[in-house]
Amino acid sequence: MTDMKHYFLLFILLLVIITIEGCTEELHPETNGTNSPVLNEGELTKAVLDLSVNTFAVEAQAETRASIPSNIPENETSEEKEVHNIWVFQYDAVTKELLIKPRYYTITDQIMLQDLPVYLKAGIPSFVYVVTNTGYDNWANDDTDTSWQKFKNVEQLKKQTLPTAFPLRSIDKVSIPMVGASEEVEVTTGVTVTVPVTRMYAKLKVKVEMLKAEMKLNNVNVRQIPNICRIETFAGDGNGEPMNAVPFPDGTTFSSIAFAASDLEKSEDKEWAVFYVPENLQGEIENQGGNKSDAAPTNALVVDVTAEIGGEKYLYAAYPGGNSLNNFNIQRNQVYRMTLTITGEKGQNNPSSNCFVVKPNGFLSFEPYYRVETGGGYNFADYLSPHDENLKIASVGIIWQTKDCIGDNTNGTLVQLGENTGDIHQKIYVRTQKKGNALIGAYNSKGDVLWSWHIWVTDHEPDNLGRAVTYYTYDWDNNGIYPEKPRIQGYAVMSCNLGALAENQKGLGTGLHRYPDEMTQAFGMLYQWGRKDPFPPLRNVVSEHHDYNDEHTDLHYDNSNQIEVHKTSGTDENKLFHSVIGSTLTGAVRHAIANPTVFITGTNDVNRNESYVQQKSNYFNNGDWCPIGESDNKLWGGLEPASEGMKAYTINQTNNVHIYDNYGTEKSIFDPCPTGWRVASGELWFEFTNTGLNPGSMSGINYDDKFSDGYGMNMYMQKWKDGPTSYFPTQGTRVGDGGGFRTNSCGNYHNATTDTDNRVNILHIHKDAGLFHIFEYQFYFYYVKSVAGPIRCVRDSK
């Protein structure tokens, strides 16, 4: 996590042997595929499968300086033994070739695991292999004549990888992949075939002890988790602990998973954050007495702990493994217990961002000059620098705030510029009061706004890694989108819209805002594409086009917390939130920075009742807020669409709509998300429908109806109609002329990438299949760059 602090490492590594009793329970199989003869199966015989789960263990290997295993017993959980589905393979004991087509069985009840009827070939000495909890019924057999051939012999099976390798948390649905094989058996009718299975994941337990009373735990995050898990361990036969690193195949990606501090309350043992992860064998290396972290391999699994100290967040990191000195192996079916003891000492300086999440009655300090983003090729020092008088901060203050969010800053004590350090580490200090949002600004000696920062005051911890949900989207290439294939691991998604004060419509009571409607508290800020500064959301529920003014929003106040700052869709400069016509500007990006509250229009007239051609003719420069010659597709870190060699798929030939692989690897200085987060990629939305394209009916949308009476949709993030969800409000937009539109019925989500012709790849959602658009090309006024829509941030690294 390069966006966080200096890694300060203090930990105690404990290893424990955990005994898990062998388990035999009954279940009912599926009967799919039993009448499809291949491989000269002939008539198959009904046998009984008896599964038992091998014990988790951590063994102290010779020459590893492993700590003494704990003698404190650890209770296993029933979830760690559960089997939800199995693949059954039968191999000839002599030739090691498949005797039958691989078969998939779904387990509906754990008590039926002991006597599972399966269909095997009789009369031939054979071995039966079982792989559990893959979650894909077409992994080893999709009813074609070729798919099973990747598993044709035992050695091929062992080299196969799971279709997906999801890390797990103990508080979620636990489904650990396992693998095992029977002894040699000659099948007869009703024979019992015993198969002991072993978990293919390791178990990692983390406890945090903080030595200062004022310290608060924020989250426990595990990263560098490989998104690959092979049937046979990468270490080979699994005998002994590998002393050298076992490299992953080229192209292996890595992900992370986290517990928020509040998540620990859900744990069976509230002291421990428990994770299940694929093995990561980085070997044992020479260490001449330094910290283990000083010698850590690049891909070694690492545990990060984020703590809050005096209003700032700091990161501490530790590396589990076979010992606390120099071993970085995370082996399957083994348990790693580690206690991290944090002293509370601070490390080096935190880089800044455009948004900060602060709790009510909280304190924030940040370094406005210190920025590390490189996406899009922009240099932050071109806009803010302590070494240039025109770009140097002379004063700071509140540009706007919801009532009492920060408070009366007339005397400059609530938003304060720190001592001049002469370098990039000068600080700004902010003290907050109540839930809400604010924008603070830095001014030069002439009184010009140099830069501004969104202060998001809330107590539901939206930036906490443990509250995020990692999305798993559909695979795709130049020829199509493939919902039937194993999903591709994406980024962790923030639990709410950027600037929202609740995660869903039931998150807060009434009375917080001018409109006492708890359903609108999940509404986030609105952003014109490519701009860093927010516009307050619409709250007064109006379906059609209307003015963006105080009647339809919260009331907002100035630096004194007393004087209202007003809004209009028009050009009245007496109102802080007014509009200016983008086609009249020169240097639109710098104008946007210097005027963070001014909406830059892309048209004088939004008329949704006009034809597509008529709508388009009303816009300047294809609806961009930048004038002709200044359009820029890289403002949020994306790459130019249709670049040479870029993966691309045409969604709609008639309207020239595409998806490009143009999500840049780096966040940009104009990205509005907090440190460690960035605006999402367009591929996130694929899995919201059954095809990855616009749905044909409501049944083709991947949502539940948890909030059927409200202003949003609860979307499944990883699987079809199953698994974790996240709430996406239909909060309305500011369209290209600056007006408000469709509060409570329309969600118009931005992402960081664009299509050709200045088209923004938005997610446009309604509780209406005809208006739920993964790719919007029906309504021109929704996908132009001048429209202001909500944002859902994702982690800036997997």
Chain segment 361-374, per-residue pLDDT in tens: 999 889 999 998 99
Q: What pTM was computed for the model?
A: 0.79
Give dist(CA 32, CA 138) in Å, integer.
Answer: 11
CB 38 within 8 A of CB 12: no
Q: In this model, does residue 345 exceed pLDDT 50?
A: yes
Side chain identity at residue 259, one-letter code = F
At residue 447, the pLDDT reads: 96
Side chain identity at residue 525, one-letter code = M
Tokens of 589: 């990006």
Which residues, including other chains, have CB under 8 Å from residue 255's CB and lie 6 or more apart? 167, 223, 225, 227, 470, 489, 798
The secondary element (H helix, E strand) that includes residue 204 is strand 201-210
Q: Which residue has the higher pLDDT, 392 or 66?
A: 392
The closest alpha carbon to 688, from 704, 702, 705, 707, belongs to 702
Coil/strand/helix, residue 679: strand
Lowest mean pLDDT among 54-58, 78-82, 385-389, 544-548: 54-58
At residue 349, the pLDDT reads: 53
Which residues, including other chains, have CB under 8 Å from residue 411's CB and lie 6 or more apart? none
- Residues above pLDDT 90, as percent of the chain: 62
Q: Which residue has the higher pLDDT, 53 or 278?
A: 278
Query: What residue ranges define each of the domains in the chain, with the CATH number in brackets?
Result: 16-199 (2.60.40.2580), 202-342 (2.60.40), 355-457 (no CATH)
Task: Calculate mean pLDDT across residues 416-428.
Answer: 91
Residue 226: DSSP 8-state: E
Which residues, including other chains, have CB under 8 Å from residue 294's CB and lie 6 or more apart? 287
Q: How far is CA 417 from CA 173, 442, 448, 560, in A?
A: 47, 9, 16, 17
- Residues above pLDDT 70, as percent of the chain: 87
Residue pointed to by tokens 């004549």: 145
pLDDT in tens, 324-338: 788 899 999 888 888
Give dist(CA 626, CA 672) in Å, integer.
Answer: 18
Q: Which residue has the higher pLDDT, 147 or 5?
A: 147
CB 588 within 8 A of CB 627: yes
Q: Which residue has the higher pLDDT, 600 or 423?
A: 600
CB 8 within 8 A of CB 309: no
> Burial, 434: exposed, middle or buried (Cβ in 10 Å; 0-12, 13-18, 19+)?
middle
Q: In this model, does residue 314 exceed pLDDT 90?
A: no
The secondary element (H helix, E strand) that includes residue 615 is helix 612-617
Q: How confident is the model at residue 63 (pLDDT cuts 50, 70, 90)?
A: very low
At residue 292, the pLDDT reads: 80
Which residues, including other chains, have CB under 8 Å from residue 784's CB and lie 6 or more apart? 602, 603, 619, 622, 623, 624, 736, 758, 759, 760
Q: In this model, does residue 797 exceed pLDDT 90?
A: no
Q: Do β-strands 733-734 and 740-741 pair in parallel, antiparallel, or remain unpaired?
A: antiparallel
The closest alpha carbon to 513, from 499, 532, 527, belongs to 499
DSSP 458-516: -SS-TT-GGG-EEEEE-EEETTEEETTSPPEEEEEEPSS-TT-SSSSTTSS-S-SSSS-
Give dist(CA 722, CA 576) in Å, integer.
Answer: 45
At residue 152, the pLDDT reads: 94
pLDDT in tens, 710-759: 889 999 999 999 999 999 999 999 999 999 988 888 999 999 999 998 89
Q: How far is CA 676 from CA 354, 467, 491, 504, 698, in A?
A: 11, 14, 12, 23, 35
Q: Which residue has the higher pLDDT, 210 or 4?
A: 210
At residue 39, the pLDDT reads: 63
Q: How confident is the model at residue 633 (pLDDT cuts 50, 70, 90)?
A: very high
Residue pointed to by tokens 């199995």: 86
Give dist(CA 419, CA 417) in Å, integer.
Answer: 7
At residue 687, the pLDDT reads: 95
Q: Do β-strands 449-457 and 469-473 pair in parallel, antiparallel, or remain unpaired?
A: unpaired
The secondary element (H helix, E strand) that includes residue 158 is helix 154-159
What distance, in Å, lies between the first and last C-alpha atoms of the chain? 9
Q: In this model, does residue 17 exceed pLDDT 80?
A: no
Residue pointed to by tokens 């071993």: 327
At residue 11, the pLDDT reads: 29
Give dist(CA 191, CA 405) in Å, integer.
Answer: 71
CB 727 within 8 A of CB 707: yes
Q: How confident is the model at residue 142 (pLDDT cuts 50, 70, 90)?
A: confident
pLDDT in tens, 429-447: 999 999 999 999 999 999 9
Q: Secondary structure of the chain: what % helix, strand, coil (to 5)?
A: 10, 30, 60
Q: Which residue has the higher pLDDT, 696 or 60?
A: 696
Give dist(CA 352, CA 756) in Å, integer.
Answer: 32
Task: Calculate mean pLDDT across residues 460-478.
Answer: 92
At residue 237, the pLDDT reads: 53
Which residues, including other chains, have CB under 8 Å from residue 505's CB and lie 6 or more apart? 518, 519, 520, 521, 522, 707, 710, 711, 712, 727, 729
Q: In this model, does residue 629 exceed pLDDT 90?
A: yes
CB 553 within 8 A of CB 540: yes
At residue 239, the pLDDT reads: 53
Tokens of 134: 């893959």
CB 555 within 8 A of CB 565: no
Q: Which residue has the higher pLDDT, 316 or 687?
A: 687
Which residues, including other chains, have CB under 8 Å from residue 691's CB and lie 6 or more apart? 481, 483, 700
Q: How confident is the model at residue 311 (pLDDT cuts 50, 70, 90)?
A: low
Tokens of 369: 């000059």
CB 9 within 8 A of CB 316: yes
Other beta carbons within 10 angstroms of residue 574's beta carbon come to 7
Length of the chain: 798
Task: Calculate mean pLDDT across residues 697-715.
Answer: 92
At residue 170, the pLDDT reads: 93
Q: How confident is the model at residue 146 (pLDDT cuts 50, 70, 90)?
A: confident
pLDDT in tens, 499-518: 999 998 875 544 455 555 67
Give dist(CA 601, CA 786) in Å, integer.
Answer: 6
Task: Calculate mean pLDDT across residues 675-685.
Answer: 92
For the chain, give the mean pLDDT: 86
Coil/strand/helix, residue 789: strand
Q: Which residue has the higher pLDDT, 516 or 132?
A: 132
- Give the torsion through C-alpha atoms of 64, 68, 73, 76, to 10 deg: -10
At residue 34, the pLDDT reads: 38
Q: How confident is the model at residue 609 (pLDDT cuts 50, 70, 90)?
A: low
Q: In this model, does residue 519 exceed pLDDT 60?
A: yes
Residue 12: DSSP 8-state: E
Tokens of 125: 């000495």
Q: How confident is the model at residue 630 (pLDDT cuts 50, 70, 90)?
A: very high
